[in-house]
Chains A and B, each alone.
Chain A
Amino acid sequence: MRLVLERFTHNALALLAVTTLLFFMFRLMPGTPLAAFINENLNADQQQAMLEQFGLDKPMWQQYFIYLANLLQGEMGLSFFQRRSVMTILLEVLPNSVILTLTSLIIAYIFGVLAGAWLAWKRGSWIERVAVPAVLATRAAPEFWIGMVLLALLSFNAGWFPSGGASSPGMAYDNNWERIFSLDYLHHLALPVLTLALYLQGLPLLLMRSNMLEVMHEEFVTMARMKGLSEWRIVIGHAARNALLPVVTAFALGVGLSMGGNVVIETVFSWPGIGRLLVQAVSVHDYPLAQGAFLMIALVLALMNFVADLLYMVLDPRVSHGRKG
């Protein structure tokens, strides 16, 4: 329990540091944060009133603590351009990003684990010699480029998938759940998921393969062999179970990492998620919205790092959790 608390504090502190860094980064940016609100028609008094209204007349450290206190209540201010609460906007698009990330990761990991175990079994064959460099190439390709090629081939050329967005124009739904489970939504989701899964499968595949190769030489596998178990039962029942542990941890980390990496995929497919929101907010200098989107991504990352730490403790009893180094 003490360890859980220790990992929690560790990740929470890292998040606090990121938050602090972000606050000062945004404050030290060229131009005042009010550039979007103040125009030439306002006189000096009105400008001053505006500064006071936003609390920008207070000293920096005071602003910092107000900012932290507001964050803890989920209050991130108003978007400069949409004039709506940042939190509302974020919560609107968050489900789209989560669905995209989780669907892709689950597909990528199921495929990666099976293919990785299979490749370990095929060690030394020509299949391995072709497949491993090919998998490395999918990890080397920029995600958005895979998306562009698939988009040109499967959407514009073959016409099988829509070219972007999350729903066809003119579609209306009673509530969010109905929208998400509609065929139209799934149809729009397919191509981004395919792209992301193609990019993500490399890590679990290579991890699983090398773990399997390592596990195959361990004593308990030799033992199983000596007991006369079939090769299949050894692979599935003994080797794969143990080789899976690091992959499970990688999955949790993957959720956090690809929430950030989705920025480009969401842009290619105009998928209304948090990454695309960040890109749009940064390009129009909508500071509060950009800051909120960034923090949301950082929060998911920190949360998932914590989950990965926990999984590691629960799943692998061999790891001693004493102090490192």
Chain B
Amino acid sequence: MAERADPASPARSGWPLLPVLRRMVAMPLKDPFAFAGVMIYLLFALVALFADQLAPIDPMEILFTKAGKLAANVPPGAEFPLGTTNLGRDIYAQLVYGTRSALAVGLSAAIIVATVGTIVGLVAGYFGGTTDAVLMRIADMALSLPFLPFVIVLTGFLGASTSNIVLAVAVLLWPNSARVIRSQVLTLRERAYVEAARVTGASAWRILFVHIAPNILPLSFVYAAIAIGWAIITEASVSFLGFGDSNSVSWGMMLQDAFTSQALSRGQYAWFVPPGICIILVVVAGFFISRGYEEVFMPRLRGR
């Protein structure tokens, strides 16, 4: 129980950011699930970085056999580890390059959601009053939008681009983190050390960002990890429905391609099973990491 310290009992003196960061880095070493999650993230990050080396073939290039015929629907083998698509494209190369777009979508959505959610949560929780009421009503409204239909309508009309998908996901996900962070701030601001800072004449913004924000950081991180998964699943779903960016190679685009080119009836499992497994791995990694942080930093939030 020793590690389950009260999240709101920061270091007695000095800036709480460093001890909080130290505990955040140490957490995955204690929790085997979170450790597995971090390892999965690292693995995919390496694949994304070294995609050019791992897959020398261009994922969109139309390949031909030595006899000069289109290399369509080649079964998995030595030359093509996962076979080729009906248009003669290397599936393995697509899978490897898909990692890049998955991480780009996931990370950018996570950064936006965590930043907006944290700032809104901090401001609403600390200042209260009208600011709080207005921000929380906006959050309520964003939460009453049906998730996938909204993303479809937005990308369908604003144009099928990855940045529009990320934008839509961010619009829909920030309220969850803002609400939880707000309620955490509500308890933190009554703490003695905040009172002490106020008595010494620290400004509201200084208290907010120097004394309260560092203790909120693990929570922002939990929501960032969850947002990575949601953004990747959403991108895949939207691409699958045909509203994705047709210029980028993503796991969702691969699944859509497989679905519309009858890969299911031909039983080309090597085409559509691996992208799904990759999505599951990335999303589960996010679950594991966020669970780990919740258990260590916010034991009371478990099971939500």
Q: B303 near A: Cβ within 8 Å?
A: yes
Q: In this complex, what residue of A is CB-closest to B269?
A: A152
- C-alpha gap A148/B274 in the complex (Å): 12
- C-alpha gap A28/B303 in the complex (Å): 42
Q: In this complex, what residue of B is CB-closest to A300?
A: B146
Say whether B144 contacts A152, CB under 8 Å: no
- C-alpha gap A278/B143 in the complex (Å): 20
Chain A 138-159 interface mask (CB, 8 Å, partner B; 1/0):
0111111100110110001100
Q: A145-B255, A267-B241 are in contact. Are A140 and B141 (CB under 8 A)?
A: no
Residues on the A chain within 8 Å of B144, using CB: 11, 14-15, 17-18, 298, 301-302, 305
Say whether A140 contacts B284, CB under 8 Å: yes
Q: Which residues in chain A, 4-46, are within 8 Å of chain B measured between CB atoms?
A: 10-11, 14-15, 17-18, 21-22, 25-26, 29-30
Residues on the B chain within 8 Å of A196, using CB: none
Chain A 82-96 interface mask (CB, 8 Å, partner B; 1/0):
000000000000000
Say whether A140 contacts B229, CB under 8 Å: yes
Chain B 220-247 interface mask (CB, 8 Å, partner A; 1/0):
0000000001000100110011110000
Say whether A294 contacts B146, CB under 8 Å: yes
Q: What band does the interface of chain A fall in when counting residues whose beta carbon is under 8 Å from B?
A: 35 or more
Return the contact of A148 from the options B183, B272, B303 (Cβ within 8 A). B272
Q: Which residues in chain A, 193-213, are within 8 Å of chain B measured between CB atoms?
A: 206-207, 210-211, 213
- C-alpha gap A151/B148 in the complex (Å): 22
Q: Which residues in chain B, 277-302, are within 8 Å of chain A measured between CB atoms?
A: 279-280, 283-284, 287-288, 302
Say whether B303 contacts A210, CB under 8 Å: yes
Q: A162 near B: Cβ within 8 Å?
A: no
Residues on the B chain within 8 Å of A305, using CB: 144
Distance from B11 Cβ to chain A, minimum over Cβ atoms (Å): 28
Q: A14-B141, A207-B303, A275-B149 are in contact. Are A141 and B156 (CB under 8 A)?
A: no
Residues on the B chain within 8 Å of A14, using CB: 140-141, 143-144
Q: A257 near B: Cβ within 8 Å?
A: yes
Looking at A57-65, A181-189, A230-238, A258-266, the stretch in contact with chain B turns out to be A258-266
Q: In this complex, what residue of B is CB-closest to A264?
A: B237
Q: In this complex, what residue of B is CB-closest to A259?
A: B146
Return the contact of B280 from the options A29, A140, A213, A297 (Cβ within 8 A). A140
Interface residues of A (CB under 8 A from B): 10-11, 14-15, 17-18, 21-22, 25-26, 29-30, 133, 136-137, 139-145, 148-149, 151-152, 156-157, 163, 206-207, 210-211, 213-214, 256-257, 259-261, 263-264, 267-268, 275, 278-279, 282-283, 285, 290, 293-294, 297-298, 301-302, 305, 325
Beyond contacts A140-B283, A294-B146: 18 other A-B pairs, Cβ-Cβ < 8 A, are: A10-B140, A21-B145, A30-B157, A140-B284, A141-B276, A149-B273, A149-B276, A156-B265, A163-B265, A206-B303, A214-B303, A264-B241, A268-B259, A278-B153, A283-B242, A294-B153, A298-B149, A305-B144
Could you list 15 examples of A-B contacts with CB < 8 Å?
A14-B140, A17-B141, A22-B153, A140-B279, A140-B280, A141-B283, A142-B255, A145-B276, A152-B265, A207-B303, A257-B147, A260-B146, A260-B149, A275-B149, A283-B242
